[in-house]
Amino acid sequence: MSKTSQPELRRSVTPWGSFSWGYSDVGADIFVGLGLVLGAAAGASNVAFLFAGIVYVCIGLAYTELAATYPVAGGGQYFVLRGLGDIFGFIAGWAVLLDFTIDIALFAWSCVDYLSELLPVLNNAPHPWAHFIVVLGLMIGLCTLNFIGVRESTAFNGFVSGLDIISETAILTLGFLFAFSPHLLVHTMQTSWPTPFEFMKGISLAIVSFVGLESISQAAEETQRPASIIPRTSTALILTILIFALSYANLALGMHTWHPIPLDAHGHPQMLWQWLGNTDNNGKAVALIAKQVPYWGAIAAFYVPVLGAILLLISSNSGVFGSSRIAYAMSKGGLLPSIFERVHPRFRTPTVSLLVFTSVSILELIFAALPSLDPNMAALYARLFNGESGIDFLGDLYAFGAATSYSFVFIALIALRLTDPLSPRKFKIPLNIPVNFRGERAEFPVIAVLGFIGIVAILVFTMITHPIGRIAGPSWIVLGLILYFIYRKRKGLPLLHSHKRDWRNEQLEILRRAGELELMDEYAANLKASDERRAKAAV
């Protein structure tokens, strides 16, 4: 089959489907990230979430503008490729691929953690093999679901996302009404303020609770009228997740301990945040908070673990979807072999990408599960990685991949504002400085600079505080670059430079395929006016 006759991705994602793809990924992060942050930052957990949340808002605004302007599969990888060139586009895409493969394993793992609240046989501590086998089975099942098609995945996500928004709103409303004490919040922050090292670690883990907005841009090529829909769905998602994350952090620190809290190893009573943040419980923090809510907690003890497990399952599903679409886009851009671009003729899904990167996530799962499955490996990991658990390992890599990719996205946004000012931007980040660049009027985005500073700080915190992250994360990037150089050399493509592309015609085709015909006409008119101005200037 020739390249021109290759089947393309089907546009079947509706406005609610676009929101639910993002929510199923970002919304589930609080179910995992809350316990990790409480265990690290203690009384400053809410401040850690606030810092990461401000950076997340900047990230969200950047992705919203870029995805609405360039509605193609690939998300951040494509934006960096277009703004900074091939090699930087590859690094950004490879980092996001790490994140999405981790997403598959991390959220499938936490899904089973939540189920273990009702089915103790699935608890990782006494039954590691049962836990591992169920997680592995879920990952294989999700790969099969995405092989069948995105429409089926989107319908699954949409139903559960709506149900979870209702549930989380109920938990927070009842929790603040019946279990929250402002005095306890202040007391906890005063008496349990972390060390600078612990605070940096908490911030680096807090970004885990905001990763996943990429999913909306990943589905842009399969979204109906993306330039119109994506700004609305992204803005709604940014506000929803920010409110939930900050609310849960403050609720956990200011919650009355209405029910007895288990004693620690020395027989001393524990505060709620300490209990949530320990290694055995940090994968199911929201379920444990819900149990502490008076009156409603008895019902929530049975209901929230199931809903949390389902939401985490669809977040894992978003990882399967996202990794395959990034690989598909990187292949189309000449950054990965063309085999990753192959689309199944019947199901119209990128089959090879699905299989390869689900397999990578299975390898990551095995590495994370080894300390639980083998006591000898647990001792080795304790010596090498300061006793970090399997979920800590996955969280470390998740934070590293997100911070690396987002850093490049901010630079790409600035570059595209300057080098491609003629593309219509239906949504634009506020706070811009008008400038002239290469004879064209452009706007320099101040928020992109602030976001870049914030995400680089989080990347530095991750490298300082996570022993696994600072080894495995850069190793993944180095491995990717080696494969990239081998592939480019075999294809006769430049190693450190970009091969030439006709971005003008490509942008016109992108808007045409997206059904954004008014924007396509506006872009064509802008190009014509620019060419006429340059011709007059030359004369």
**Digit-coded pLDDT (tens) for 357-413:** 999 999 989 988 888 887 777 777 666 666 566 677 787 788 888 889 899 999 999
Determine contact, residues 297/259, Cβ cutoff 8 Å: yes
- Per residue in 147-160, pLDDT (tens digit) is 775 555 556 667 77
- CA neighbours within 13 Å on the CB side: how many for 351? 9
pLDDT (0 to 100) of residue 211: 74
Does pLDDT of 10 surpass 80? no
> For residue 310, what is the domain's CATH number?
1.20.1740.10
299-337 burial: b if 16+ Cβ within 10 Å, else e: ebbebbbebbbbbbbbbbbbbbbbbbbbbbbbbbbbbbe
Q: Model pTM?
A: 0.84
Determine contact, residues 98/401, Cβ cutoff 8 Å: yes
Instruction: Please report whether residue 9 resides in a domain.
Output: no
> Is there a single domain that holds both residue 448 and residue 527?
no
Distance, CA of 405 to CA of 36 (rounded, Å)? 22
Query: In the beta sheet, which residues pair with residue 432?
Result: 445
Distance, CA of 118 to CA of 70 (rounded, Å)? 45
- Per residue in 42-90, pLDDT (tens digit) is 889 999 999 999 999 999 999 989 988 998 866 788 899 999 999 999 9
Instruction: Please report whether residue 399 resides in a domain.
Output: yes
> Is there a single domain that holds both residue 459 and residue 518?
no
> Is there a single domain that holds both residue 109 and residue 238?
yes
Instruction: Please report whether residue 8 resides in a domain.
Output: no
Distance, CA of 142 to CA of 314 (rounded, Å)? 9
> Is there a single domain that holds both residue 522 and residue 468?
no
> Is there a single domain that holds both residue 521 and residue 425?
no
> Is there a single domain that holds both residue 385 and residue 483?
yes
Model confidence band, residue 12 (pLDDT cutoffs 50, 70, 90): very low
Instruction: Please report whether residue 286 resides in a domain.
Output: yes
> Is there a single domain that holds both residue 60 and residue 170?
yes
Instruction: Please report whether residue 267 resides in a domain.
Output: yes
Q: Which residue has the higher pLDDT, 282 or 128?
A: 128
Residues making up the chain, counted from first to last: 539
Give a three-class secondary structure readout of 302-351: HHHHHHHHHHHHHHHHHHHHHHHHHHHHHHHCCCCCHHHHCCCCCCCCCH
C-alpha 531: how far from its chain's center? 40
Does pLDDT of 161 surpass 90? no
Distance, CA of 51 to CA of 207 (rounded, Å)? 9
pLDDT (0 to 100) of residue 275: 52
Does pLDDT of 268 surpass 50? no
Does pLDDT of 235 surpass 90? no
- Per residue in 285-297, pLDDT (tens digit) is 788 788 877 777 7
Model confidence band, residue 3 (pLDDT cutoffs 50, 70, 90): very low
> Is there a single domain that holds both residue 95 and residue 155?
yes
The number of folded domains in the chain is 2
Residue with tokens 């929101």: 19
- Per residue in 166-224, pLDDT (tens digit) is 888 888 898 898 888 899 899 889 888 999 999 998 998 888 877 767 766 666 665 66
The 3-state DSSP composition of the chain as helix, strand, coil percent (nearest 5) reads 75, 5, 20
> Is there a single domain that holds both residue 169 and residue 69?
yes
Instruction: Please report whether residue 1 resides in a domain.
Output: no
- With H, G, I as helix, E, B as strand and everything else as coil, classify residue 74: coil
Q: Which residue has the higher pLDDT, 14 or 508?
A: 508
> Is there a single domain that holds both residue 519 and residue 382?
no
Instruction: Please report whether residue 238 resides in a domain.
Output: yes
pLDDT (0 to 100) of residue 9: 47
> Is there a single domain that holds both residue 492 and residue 516?
no
353: exposed, middle or buried (Cβ count in 10 Å: 0-12, 13-18, 19+): buried
The domain in which residue 511 lies consists of 503-539
Determine contact, residues 208/395, Cβ cutoff 8 Å: yes
